[in-house]
Amino acid sequence: MSVNKKTLIRRYVKAIHEGNAAVFAGAGLSRSSGYVDWRGLLRPLAEEIGLDVDKEYDLLSVAQFYKNKRPGTPTSQAILDAFSKEVSTNENIKILSRLPIFTYWTTNYDELLENGIKNANRNPDVKYNYRQLSYILPDRDAVVYKMHGDVKEPDMAVLTKTDYELYQIKYPLFRTILKGDLISKTFLFIGFSFQDPNLDYVLGQIHSLIGDNAKEHFCFVRRVQESDYPGDPELYAYFRARQELQEENLKNYSIQTVFVDSFAEITDILRDIEKATKMRNVFVSGSAVEFSSPWDKASAESFVAKLAGELVHANCKITSGFGWGIGSAVVNGALKTIYSEKYKHVDEHLCLRPFPLDIIDPEEKRKQRQQYRNDMIVETGVSIFVFGNKIIDGEMVESPGCMEEFEIAKKQGNLIIPVGSTGYAAKKILDEIKDNIKDYVYLTDYIDVLEKETDADILIEAIIKIIKDKHRQMGLN
């Protein structure tokens, strides 16, 4: 039986949080950007030797036939021709590149995956030949293993039947590393053909080594549909039955199939995975130069510190811009819980992003701070707003920075929790949400508490419940 999408999201997000997630990308991942799949790559070669690639099942043999027939014409030219053109990335690559995943494997020759990781402001260490395996790129954020080679070295690419037969001899270290990752990590296979003989061999070796104790993996498969075979119900029934058999076979390698009816569903699921991954990351926004009754400096700092501690206790990671008047309380409260609970570490539960102070030009300062706020909030899934005031030209006003952070969080679709009873920007945000409560249904049962309550314990209990309710809804608990 296939795995449903909610189960995939819950288990794969858990693997991401534990640092055990990996991606295995096949040609399907690049196809929507305009690159060919394996069949498309071999089509012109097959035509040269009088074959129809659409009638062929064993594509490895087609490549081998071409090489045998045209020994003076390297297949590497076909790879150059197919993958040297400039194409745009696609949404699936963007999402996969942004996820906090360290290990990526691919059989693709193109550079879309590593370029996507770079565009996500992450530094990929790319490995496409055995010499690179012994070197570690400084400050790397991810490793991309290109087990079939790279367009930059097309003469070394794995393409023909002979290439596959010699793979174990020529690239034993790639196989060894892949075996280790398949045993220790949870893979998400996307755009990948399970008819690849090299992967099939590796998966078989893993199964023979550890049997049913293999790590659980997931793969996307588009369900065979009647519309794929118009006017031919027998052919549809045949391939539907074959797909079910393939699903059962993949279970032998601990690969769970996630069926989708369209490829667009994969993008939606990846978005849900990204959103769920961020849902434990909480941005605390606020600043406080003064306090309105019944709040004062001591009670405000006590509330914020206790809130930070409870967020850490709930296994959340706090991001703070170290807002004036509350930043220290956030740090103190988080650290107190981190150091009092076993196995908790500062970098896993607290991220401090104080704003740079040495920018003189007003317009440049505005642009820098706007980008800084975007960079902080983009990694989070929850935004909590407390207090939020500032002195501008000698007058106490609602903090423009807090309001800007609210707009960013709203645009990103964050879970927004304004503690309106603390006043100022937090009150203004709560009033806007109250007027549009249909867009914030998760706050319906808590809006009165957030607006009127000033007891720190009651407020914190409500905030934690809101977050945990969302976690349960997304299957994260």
Give the residue numbers annotated as catalytic, written as ranges: 148
User: How many angstroms separate the first and last alpha carbons of the chain?
Assistant: 23
CA angle 156, 157, 160 (to 5 degrees): 115
Q: What distances in angstroms separate CA 88 from CA 111, 191, 232, 445, one per listed residue?
A: 11, 17, 37, 45
Task: Answer whether 52's CB lies under 8 Å from 45's CB.
Answer: no
Distance, CA of 280 to CA of 341 (rounded, Å): 18
Identify the DSSP state of 160.
S
Q: Provide the 3-class DSSP secondary structure of residue 71.
A: coil
Reduce the DSSP state of residue 168 to 3 states and report it: helix
Q: Give dist(CA 235, CA 438) in Å, integer.
A: 48
Sign of CA dihedral 122, 127, 128, 131: positive
- Output the six-digit token pair for 127: 């490995």
3-state secondary structure of 220: strand
3-state secondary structure of 127: strand
Angle at Cα 459 formed by Cα 453 and Cα 462, nearest 5°?
A: 120
Characterize the bridge pairing of strands 281-285 and 317-320: parallel
Q: What is the CA radius of gyration of the chain?
A: 27
DSSP symbol at 443: G
Query: Encoding tokens for residue 345?
Result: 């570490």
Q: Compute CA 323 distance to the chain's CA centroid, rounded to the nearest angstrom.
A: 29
Go through the chain and tell me how many residues it has.
477
Among 392, 442, 461, smallest CA distance to 403 is for 392
